[in-house]
Amino acid sequence: MKKRIAIFASGSGSNAQKIMEHFKYSNMAEVSLVLSNNPDAYVLQRADNFEIPSHVFDRKTFYESSEVVDILKRLEIDLVVLAGFLWLIPENLLKAFPNKIINIHPALLPKFGGKGMYGDRVHKAVLEAAEEEHGITIHFVNENFDEGEVIQQAKFKIDADDTLETIKFKGQQLEHQYFPKVIENLLKKYN
């Protein structure tokens, strides 16, 4: 039986798209559901384009009910993937999927992580700190933002003429290259 992936995203969903593309014809796994806390997120259109069901929830539902966990359990989800999802994961979801929730962060953690550090905010902070390298981190999710065990990191050198847009682009290339492969390798380890 195919392994089942659920993707959480809050925005555009370019990583979600790469994951959906990667597993579209896979015999091993499929993206079974896309979830978002943003009813206007473009990721929902991307899911629709792949004929993958989606579910939108609000803050109260996510933090004060078991609705999201119940849906994931009913669908027998094997791995929960956060791909640009901006909310902290509640305890009931962490307990329901121990070591089966992963996230991608657009920096080399532990640097430039934590609450409020996402998207362009991360890249601006990296440029302001005059870092010589930048990259991505794929990690397990725990009760704190960006503090779970690191699964894989990939980095690139920051060139003198790099701008916010160029480092963002370089980082996104790494995300798209590594994230689907890391997901596939993790799923191979699950019975």
Which positions are catalytic?
A: 105
Concatenated DSSP letters of 61-89: HHHH-SHHHHHHHHTT-SEEEESS--SPP
Asked, as a colleague might, if the bond just before 110 is cis with ω within 30 of 0, I would say yes
Amino acid present at 37: N
Q: Quick check: 16 and 175 in contact, CB under 8 A?
A: no
Cβ 123 vs Cβ 168: under 8 Å: yes
Q: In terms of C-beta density within 10 A (0-12 exposed, 13-18 middle, 19 or more buried), how is residue 151 classed?
A: middle
Q: Which residue has the tokens 């370019």?
A: 14
Parallel, antiparallel, or unpaired for β 101-105 and 79-82?
parallel
> Residues near 108 by Cβ (< 8 Å), separated by ≥ 6?
133, 134, 135, 136, 137, 153, 155
